Amino acid sequence: MLSQRSGKAKLDDVTRILSDLQAELDANKLSVEQRRGLLEQLKVYGRSVDNADPIFTHHGLQTLGRYAFHGATTPASQEALRCIANALLLQPKTRQMLVDLGHGPHAAEKLKSDSVDDEFLAARVLFLMTYDANLDYTQLVRENQLADSINAAIQRHAQRYSTDASKPSQGHTQPMDIMALAETLKLVFNIIHFHQDLNPHFTKSIPNVFKILVQRGITQPPLAAPARELVNALLHLHLESAEGKQATFPAADPKRNAEHLVKILDKAIVAYPDKDLDDTITPVVTLLRSIYEIAPDAVQTAMQKMILPTPEERDEPLGKSDTLPSRLLNLSTSANTATLRGSISSMLFELSHKDPATFVHNVGYGFASGYLMSNNIQMPDDVIKAHAHENANDGIPINPITGQRLDKEEHVHMEPMTQEEKEREAERLFVLFERLKATGVVNVQNPVEQAYRSGRIQELPDDSD
């Protein structure tokens, strides 16, 4: 039974355990299970920084490093690695300590293991050391084959999935498998983010990343791990390279990956609350934009059909139906999604060939105007009017403001005003302008008074009747 001590008792026990572990390095008297037990107890204590100070010191990490990285992988070495991972997470200062102890290359070597436990722990340690430490990842790639190890790990995960319908996919059935893949992908993201020159070393993983993403299908929620990490990794990988394009648009079905991402987007928009959409959905939109930019014409056309409003939606003002294009349009003007709304508008503009007139035609000036003005994109009014009639779907004019077909607009019938109603309305306007003039805020001239002075209004003689 693991101890749950606190306060000074916990501190004393942490100190004792580290002392025993240090002595054992020379004495070598304890069994593997006894070592594992001590390290497991230390791991429990290390989940909180309170009264666990000896763990987060140079001496503590040195002792743990000896158990974690020296010798064969054992349950004890994995417990030591878990202690280190917790320390790096809770105390950022320990990241540079571990680098100074020379354990960066050791962690990279550990990632060569086929064990998902080793993959998870080594990837997490290496990921955490991308922050607040000066670990040389270029050297790890060159001397410890870090990129090769990462690519091999991703390939092992991809091999669980079959593209052959006649062969069932094993998939990821255990939580640790998913956690290991997620940590490895996070490591890829950060390495490329902080070391752009290393990006080409990971290009060979692009087909495997897409394979896992597509073959896993859409989970609930749609961007739960590892889908989120797969999307983020693809954002940084060189999709525009020759090898990247071949993987992004496979010969057997060039639009498969783009279609799957659109489906994820469709499901994710309704699966997450508005407050979470900026963080969860924006990477998917950004990835779709990147793919569209390099896509063949056929794939671009397919993406336009999936994302832009369809002719059927123009039976009513755009944004009123329960479809992906409508939801995207509404999010493009949402006050709750500051980052996402800009990304969506940019995507819709790019899907419209970056042409303002086509953009207005596709989404309506009501949705397009904010983006056009904020990006200083000018479009004359006569272009809008001409576009509404000359380029309408199937030759049917559309309302350039709402995007609705003109023949489907609801016409409101209003009875003409009587002479008495006109006079009352004129009187209200006269009073309104007089009050506005009296405030002194603005200098206005009552149009009725102006018309009278100009002779456009004449007094009529009293009705003798």
**Do residues 194 and 127 lie in contact, with contact meaning Cβ atoms separated by under 8 Å?**
no
Q: How confident is the model at residue 290 (pLDDT cuts 50, 70, 90)?
A: very high
pLDDT at 43: 96
For 278-291, b where at least 16 C-beta lie within 10 A, e where not — what string? bebbbbbbbbbbbb
Q: Which residues touch 402 (CB under 8 Å, ≥6 apart)? A: 317, 318, 364, 366
pLDDT at 392: 45
Q: How confident is the model at residue 317 (pLDDT cuts 50, 70, 90)?
A: confident
The sign of the CA dihedral 179, 181, 186, 191 is positive
Measured CA to CA, the distance from residue 293 to residue 295 in angstroms comes to 6
Q: At what angle do helices 365-374 and 356-363 cross, to 10 degrees?
A: 140
Measured CA to CA, the distance from residue 107 to residue 81 in angstroms comes to 9
Give the C-alpha distances (Å, rounded to integers) separating 190 from 137, 179, 184.
11, 17, 10
User: For 398-407, how does the pLDDT look when each residue is reduced to its tens digit (9 = 90+)?
Assistant: 555 555 555 5
Which token pair is 458?
């004449």
Peptide bond before residue 221 is cis, with ω within 30 degrees of 0: yes
User: For 342-355, how does the pLDDT look when each residue is reduced to its tens digit (9 = 90+)?
Assistant: 999 999 999 999 99
- Of residues 274 and 128, more confidence is placed in 128
Count other Cβ atoms within 10 Å, centred on residue 124: 25
Q: For the chain, give the number of residues.
A: 465
**Do residues 14 and 54 lie in contact, with contact meaning Cβ atoms separated by under 8 Å?**
yes
Is the model's pLDDT at 81 over the cut of 70?
A: yes
Mean pLDDT throughout 208-217? 96
Measured CA to CA, the distance from residue 162 to residue 168 in angstroms comes to 7
pLDDT at 439: 75
